């Protein structure tokens, strides 16, 4: 029950923080933004910083992050340690963090195919090499055809 009350307080505080911040300041029209930068400023900083990284670099970072997330999730499923679960969530978060700005500079189809190709290769490598998973002949053919199709879509954009 404690966790529920924590989330209610957290959500309430998050949702109404701006109203509370307005009350903290005097009502005259000095140009004071408050102690925290506005959400728009934080978004501009985020996009400005990641805008300096090439699209290929962001896709590599996003794919690497999701591979780390899946590796951690698999480790959690094997060992049942909470640390791996939190690392998995963090990897998935970072993947979205790096991937989303690519959509401002490149189309959805190309970026998602490139991300999918890189992450698929990483998943296959981790599954086969680290976790010693096996694939049937049909699965090997399907994975190979899938990777080839992603390569063709990426090359002939």
Q: What is the pLDDT of residue 6?
A: 47
What does the pLDDT read at residue 7? 46
| Residues 6 or more apart in contact with residue 126 via CB below 8 angstroms | 67, 70, 71, 74
Whole-Å CA distances, 42 to 15, 56, 113, 124:
17, 24, 29, 37
Buried b (16+ CB within 10 A) or exposed e, 97-111: bbbebbeeebeeeeb
The per-residue pLDDT for 75 is 95
Nearest to 71 by CA among 93, 92, 57, 56: 92
With a cut of 80, say whether residue 17 has pLDDT above it.
Answer: no
Q: Which two tokens stand for residue 141?
A: 């053919």
> Are the C-beta atoms of residues 58 and 101 closer than 8 Å to each other?
yes
Per-residue pLDDT tens digits for 72-103: 999 999 999 999 999 999 999 999 999 999 99
Contact criterion met (CB below 8 Å) for 64 and 123: no
Rounded-to-integer distance, Cα 40 and Cα 46, Å: 10
Residue 26, pLDDT score? 53
Supply the pLDDT for residue 47: 87
Residue 11 above 50 pLDDT? no
What is the rounded CA–CA span in Å between residue 23 and residue 29? 13
Instruction: Note the pLDDT tens digit of each residue in 107-137.
Output: 888 888 889 889 989 999 999 999 999 999 9
Q: What pLDDT is recorded for position 39?
A: 56
The whole-number average pLDDT for the span 9-26 is 50
For residue range 24-68, list pLDDT tens digits in order.
555 555 555 555 555 568 888 888 889 899 999 999 999 999 999
> Cβ atoms within 10 A of the Cβ of 114, count?
22
């Amino acid at each position: 029950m404690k966790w529920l009350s924590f989330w209610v307080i957290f959500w309430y505080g998050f949702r109404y923080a701006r109203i509370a911040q307005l009350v903290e300041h005097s009502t005259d029209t000095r140009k004071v933004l408050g102690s925290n930068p506005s959400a728009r400023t934080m978004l501009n900083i985020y996009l400005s910083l990641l805008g300096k990284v090439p699209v290929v670099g962001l896709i590599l970072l996003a794919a690497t992050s999701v591979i780390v997330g899946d590796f951690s999730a698999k480790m959690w499923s094997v060992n049942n340690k909470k640390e791996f679960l939190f690392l998995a969530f963090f990897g998935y978060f970072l993947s979205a963090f790096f991937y989303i700005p690519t959509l401002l500079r490149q189309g959805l189809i190309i970026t998602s195919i490139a991300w999918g190709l890189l992450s698929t290769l990483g998943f296959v490598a981790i599954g086969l090499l680290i976790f010693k998973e096996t694939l049937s002949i049909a699965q090997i053919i399907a994975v190979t055809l899938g990777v080839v199709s992603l390569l063709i879509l990426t090359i002939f954009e």
